[in-house]
Structure 1
Amino acid sequence: MKGERTRTATRAASEATQDDIVTAFQVDALDIRGRTVRLGPTLDALLAHHAYPPAVKRVVGEAVTLAVLLGSSLKFEGRFILQTQTDGPVDMVVADFVSPDKIRAYARYDADALAEAERRNETSPAALLGRGHLAMTIDQGISTNRYQGVVALDGSGLEAAAHEYFHQSEQIPTRVRLAVGEEMKPGGAESSWRAGGLLAQFLPQDASRARMADLSPGDAPEGVEEHKVDEDDAWVEARSLVGTLEDVELIDRDLSSERLLYRLFHERGVRVFDPLPIAARCSCSREKVSGVLASFGPEERREMIQDDGKVTVTCEFCGRTYKFTAEEVLGRVDG
C-alpha cells in the first residue's frame, strides 16, 4: 500500500494512541491481511456539518468507518463511494473516500419515522437502515470505467452486508467489525464521537485453501444438498479471534491500534505497517458547482433563479453555500 514501510524488527506493541488513522497489518502464520481504523476528531468534523440526532450519527459513523476500511486499500488515486438506499428511517447514506486520505459523508432521514423507531426502541444502525441495497463504487477518473458492486441490505446492517459482498462478489473470506460510540464529557460539555473498525481477509498463496461454499440455493427443490466446503483451519482461527473483539476495544482512546492487534494475534505474531492519516475534507468547489449548473438546460436554469435574482446551492456533505447571479447562471453579460 502506498506510503507503508514494513517494520521488520521484533518489538513490543506501541502504547502510543493516535486517532484518525488507518493501520495495515499482516499475520503470516494465518495468511491474514487487514486494516484497522480509528476515528475521533475527523468523525466529529464530519458530523458537525449537520444536526443529526444521535441515532443517525451512529449510522453515519458506521458507514464512514466501512468506507475508510475499504477505500484505503486503493493502490491508485481515485474515489471509493459507499451508498445505501433503503426503506428504513435513514433511507440514504453516502460516504465518499478519496484516496489516499480524504473522507466526507451525508445521510438523509425521515424525522417522523425516526421518532417512531425511538418510541419502539428500535434505533440500532441495522434497524434504522432497514432493507434495501448497499452499492460500493470505485471511480478511477473520467478515462476509466467505474466498477460497482451491489449487495442486499436485509436488516442485518453494514457488517453483514460487507461479509455478503466479499462472499458473492470477491470470493475472499472476510470479517469486518464496526463500532461507534458517543463520548460524554464532564460538566455538560458537548460530547464527542468515536468510531473504530477492523477488516481481516484470508489470502493464502494457494488459492484453493480459500474456497468458499456456494451461495444458498434459496427455494431449491427438496432433496438438493447444500454445497459445503470445509474451511481452512487458519481462517477458522482468525475468524474466531476477530469475533472476540468488543466494541469498546475498537473505540477506546487509551488502547492503541498496535496494542489491539497484539491482543488479537500475539500468539501467532502480527506485523504492522506505518499508519496513514485520515482527514475530513469535502471536494466541492465553486468551479465544480458552476459546472453542474451549466449541465442543465436554459429553461431549467431560469427556474432555479430565486426572487432575489440569485441561485443558491448548498453542498449536502459540508454545508458550504455557493451563490451565483442570474447572469452567471444563464451565461449572459449585463448591459
Structure 2
Amino acid sequence: MLTSAERPVSDLGEDDLVLPFAVTPLDIRGRVVRLGPSVDRILKQHGYPDAVSRLVGEAAALTALLGSALKIEGRFQLQTKTDGVVDMLVVDFDAPDRLRAFARFDAERLATVGARQAPAELLGHGHLALTIDQGADMSRYQGVVPLEGQGLEAAAHQYFAQSEQIPTLVRLAVAQNVTGAGTDWRAGGLLAQFLPESEDRRRQVDLDPGDAPEGFVRAAPDDDSWSEAKALAATAEDHELVDPTLSSERLLFRLFHERGVRVFEPQPLRDACRCSQERIAGMLRSFSRTERQDMIGPDGRIGVTCEFCGTHRAFDPADFDPLQ
C-alpha cells in the first residue's frame, strides 16, 4: 500500500520534483527525481551534442538526488575533471530548489570517437568531487572518487561505500523525445539507502584485508532487508524513470507494493543561475587595477559571460577605477 501522511497519492506524472520516500519494513529511505523542462532548458541553452547532453542530464539527476538532502540552505556541487572528451563537468544545486550545469568538451575528439559514445566513455579517467557547503557557520565537506572508466552511477556507489559508508543504490536515466512530440530532454533518478537503527546492521565490509593474500577481496554478506530492497529497486527500468505519464508514486508502488511504501512532501526544482550583475561586479573588484586593464575588450568594456547560463554582461572599467 502506498501512503502519505502529508498529501494525497498522485497518478499524475509531474516534472521537476524530488519525491522522498520510505519503506519502513526494509529500513529503506530514498528519493525519486524527475527532471523535465528544467533539464531541457539547461541542455538546449548550451546546444550540446546528444552524447554530451546525456552525460550532463545524468549528472543533473544525480546532483538533484544528493543535493536535495540539504534541508534549508546551502550548496551541493558535483564536479568532474578528467582526461576524457568531456574534461570538465559541473552541476550546482542551491538549496532549496535551484539547479544549473555546464560541461566543457573537445568537439574534435568527440567527432573522432563517435557521437554515440556512452556517458561513461566520455568521462575517461580523473576524479569526481562532491562538495557540500552549508554556509559560513558550517564546515565545508568534500568527497573525492577516482574515475577509471566507470559511469556516474558506479562512481556514486563507490562514494557512498567509501566516504559515507551507507549501503546505497542509485539509478539514473536520460531520454530525448520520449513522447514523440518534439526533442525535449528528460532525466530521472532513484536513490535508495539502507538506514536501520542498528549500526551493526548497516556496517560495511572492513576495507583492510588483514593477512589475506594480495588481491583477495572479502565480501560481506548483505543484510536480508537490504538484499531484498536492492533487488526490488534494481527492477526500475530506464523508461520508467523518465516516463512523463508515470507518476513517481506509481513507480514506487510498482517497486515496493509488497512491503508498503510511504511518500512525503515533494520538493520542486527549477533551473536557475546564481549569477547577477552585482555578483560579477563584486568578483571584478577583487582583481587589481592592472588585471582589470587586461580584461578590457576592443569596445573599451569588460565583458563577462557566465559558463552556466550563457548570459553576457559588460562593465565600464571606470566603475571600478574612477580616476583612470
Q: TM tier, shorter chain?
A: over 0.9
Correspondent of 1:311 among 302, 305, 313:
302
Correspondent of 1:23 among 3, 13, 19:
19
- Alpha-carbon separation, structure 1, partners of 2:205 and 2:156: 17
Q: Secondary structure at the match of 1:57?
A: helix
Q: Give the match for residue 71 of structure 1.
A: 67
For these two proteins, the number of residue pairs brought into alignment is: 322
Q: Give the match for residue 229 of structure 1.
A: 220
**Identity across matched positions, percent:** 56
Residues 224 and 306 (structure 1), Cα distance of their counterparts in 2 relative to 1, 3 Å cut: closer
Q: Deviations over 1:276-323 (max 9, x none)?
A: 110000000011101111111221111111122101000000011110
Following TM superposition, by how much is the alpha carbon of 1:10 offset from its aligned partner in structure 2, in angstroms? Answer: 11
- Alpha-carbon separation, structure 2, partners of 1:109 and 1:217: 40
Q: Deviations over 1:255-278 (max 9, x none)?
A: 110000000000000000121110
Matched, 1:147 2:124: no
RMSD between superposed Cα atoms in Å: 2.1
Correspondent of 1:133 among 127, 149, 164:
127
The letter for the 1-side match of 2:5 is: T
Task: Trace 1:68-217 onto structure 2 (pairs within 5 A).
Answer: 68-118=64-114, 121=116, 123-183=117-177, 190-215=182-207
64-73 or 320-329, larger mean C-alpha shift: 320-329
The letter for the 2-side match of 1:8 is: A
Matched, 1:47 2:43: yes
Correspondent of 1:249 among 229, 232, 240:
240
Flag as ranges the 4+ runs of structure 1 deviating above 4 A: none
Following TM superposition, by how much is the alpha carbon of 1:222 offset from its aligned partner in structure 2, in angstroms? Answer: 3.0
- Alpha-carbon separation, structure 2, partners of 1:92 and 1:224: 33
Q: Give the match for residue 3 of structure 1.
A: none
Correspondent of 2:316 among 325, 328, 331:
325
Correspondent of 2:5 among 5, 8, 11:
8
Correspondent of 1:297 among 288, 295, 301:
288
The letter for the 1-side match of 2:71 is: K
Matched, 1:238 2:229: yes
Residues 7 and 306 (structure 1), Cα distance of their counterparts in 2 relative to 1, 3 Å cut: same
- Alpha-carbon separation, structure 2, partners of 1:224 and 1:97: 39
Residue pair 1:19, 1:38 contacting (<8 A) in 2 also:
yes
Q: Deviations over 1:211-242 (max 9, x none)?
A: 21134769x87368543322100000001111
Correspondent of 2:57 among 41, 54, 61:
61
Following TM superposition, by how much is the alpha carbon of 1:184 offset from its aligned partner in structure 2, in angstroms? Answer: 6.0
- Normalised by the size of structure 1, how large is the TM-score? 0.91
- Alpha-carbon separation, structure 2, partners of 1:44 and 1:224: 45
Unaligned 5+ residue runs, structure 2?
none
Q: Secondary structure at the match of 1:108?
A: strand
Following TM superposition, by how much is the alpha carbon of 1:185 offset from its aligned partner in structure 2, in angstroms? Answer: 6.5
Q: Deviations over 1:187-226 (max 9, x none)?
A: xx751000000000000011101121134769x8736854
- Alpha-carbon separation, structure 1, partners of 2:217 and 2:46: 47
Unaligned 5+ residue runs, structure 1?
1-5
Residue pair 1:216, 1:226 contacting (<8 A) in 2 also:
no
- Normalised by the size of structure 2, how large is the TM-score? 0.94
- Alpha-carbon separation, structure 1, partners of 2:111 and 2:208: 36
Residue pair 1:214, 1:228 contacting (<8 A) in 2 also:
no
293-302 or 282-291, larger mean C-alpha shift: 293-302
Residue pair 1:212, 1:231 contacting (<8 A) in 2 also:
no
Q: Secondary structure at the match of 2:221?
A: coil
Residue pair 1:282, 1:318 contacting (<8 A) in 2 also:
yes
- Alpha-carbon separation, structure 1, partners of 2:92 and 2:311: 17
- Alpha-carbon separation, structure 1, partners of 2:206 and 2:252: 31
Q: Give the match for residue 278 of structure 1.
A: 269
Residue pair 2:21, 2:264 contacting (<8 A) in 1 also:
yes
Following TM superposition, by how much is the alpha carbon of 1:244 offset from its aligned partner in structure 2, in angstroms? Answer: 1.2
Q: Secondary structure at the match of 1:75?
A: coil
